[in-house]
Amino acid sequence: MRNGRTTRIGTAALAGIASISVATALGATTEKTLSSGLISKGVPHESVLVETLKMKKKGKVKDVNVGIAFDTASNEDYTFLLRHPSGKTIHISSGNGGSGNGYGSSTCASAVRFDDEAGTPVEDLEGVDTLLFGQYQPEELNEVSGTDGLSELDGLKTNGKWQLQVIDTEPVGLGSLRCFELDFTYKKK
């Protein structure tokens, strides 16, 4: 009541207030994408290329997905790992796509996405000679062995240096990293 008058709040306004209260109570999430942008970094034979993205936002990971655009003459020669700032490392892909020529095309927009919720496990393409495109479950997501893929990073801090490690396992052929992206859903601190 204000100045002798009753103030009425409509049900829509009450629902909005309730939604805000519930979102605050449950810990609203934020989304952010980090990207290397279009790059061209060759991977030296039988060595490791490390590409780093720095996340400045503080929070806890709710979900993280990885985008990779990579040119090569033979996918089977490469292993991709994602390293969290704490040092925890997730196996993304190894030797998948046989002698296919890359992951996505040469742009960030066409990068292959690794997502635990994708429909196809990337290891289904082991020994299959193909260019990888679309979305795949990472190599480490495996119900039989009990590994949890990228969800192993859920609950860890977001801020710090995240690294993609690209390992060339053969003395021949050339590979070039064209784009590295991380898609975050996180709870702010």
Express each pLDDT in 9-61 by its tens digit: 444 443 443 333 334 445 689 999 999 999 999 998 899 999 999 999 999 99
Indicate whether 12 belongs to any domain: no
Beta bridge partners of 161: 54
pLDDT in tens, 58-116: 999 999 999 999 999 899 999 999 999 999 999 999 999 999 999 998 899 999 999 99
The whole domain housing 141 covers 28-188
Provide the token pair at 98. 């046989």
Indicate whether 15 belongs to any domain: no
Are residues 57 and 158 in contact, defined by beta-carbon separation less than 8 angstroms? yes
Q: Which position has the token pair 């990779």?
A: 68
Indicate whether 6 belongs to any domain: no
Indicate whether 119 belongs to any domain: yes
Are residues 83 and 51 in contact, defined by beta-carbon separation less than 8 angstroms? no
DSSP H or E stretch at residue 15: helix 11-26
Provide the token pair at 92. 């993304």
First-to-final CA distance of the chain: 37
Number of Cβ within a 10 Å radius of residue 140 = 24
Indicate whether 73 belongs to any domain: yes
Indicate whether 23 belongs to any domain: no
Indicate whether 7 belongs to any domain: no
The number of distinct structural domains making up the chain is: 1
Q: What CATH number is associated with residue 130?
A: 2.60.120.260
Q: How far apart are CA 62 and CA 151, in angstroms?
A: 8
Provide the token pair at 100. 């296919």
Q: Which of 164, 35, 33 is nearest to 107 (CA)?
A: 35
Q: Which position has the token pair 């996340």?
A: 55
Indicate whether 10 belongs to any domain: no
Q: In degrees rounded to 5, what are phi and psi of residue 77?
A: -85, 0
